[in-house]
């Protein structure tokens, strides 16, 4: 009797694991530094592997005015005061080219493209 219950339990566990959707696995995260000054904006990486679809942008404002970082038109840091830091988490979900902009209160310091590669 014990053998039949053990086999039934093992079978049910394997079936549940196989039925679990692939998207249930958490996305890998990668931290990308963004360093801004009054005249420049430098990203630690501008291209990453497709395995990293959750990006944690660590934004550092080394300028003398407030700056912000926007990417993909839906992820925005808001303005960060001079000599302050902030974090912006972006879940892209799939590979692609995503436009970003480093902005000051009334102007754009730099625009570019952040790429999550297909391979």
Query: What's the pLDDT band for 25 if we cut at 50, 70, 90?
Result: low
List, in order of start, the domains of the chain with CATH numbers: 27-116 (2.60.40.420)
pTM recorded for the entire structure? 0.75
Q: What percent of the chain has pLDDT over 70?
A: 77
Distance from C-alpha of 18 to C-alpha of 56, rounded to nearest angstrom? 31
Rg (CA), the chain: 21
Helix (H, G, I), strand (E, B) or coil at 47: strand
Cα→Cα distances 111→15, 50, 67, Å: 49, 22, 13
pLDDT at 10 over 70: no
- Calculate ∠ Cα 26-27-29, nearest 5°: 120
């Amino acid at each position: 009797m014990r053998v039949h219950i053990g086999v039934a339990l093992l079978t049910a566990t394997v079936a549940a694991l196989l039925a679990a959707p692939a998207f249930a696995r958490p996305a890998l995260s990668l931290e990308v530094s963004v360093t801004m000054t009054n005249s420049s904006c430098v990203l630690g990486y501008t291209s990453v592997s497709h395995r990293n679809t959750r990006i944690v942008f660590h934004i550092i404002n080394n300028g003398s005015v407030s700056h912000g970082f926007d990417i993909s038109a839906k992820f925005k840091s808001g303005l960060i005061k001079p000599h302050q830091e902030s974090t912006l988490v972006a879940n892209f979900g799939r590979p692609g080219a995503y436009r970003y902009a480093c902005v000051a209160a009334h102007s754009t310091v730099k625009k570019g493209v952040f790429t999550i590669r297909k391979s």
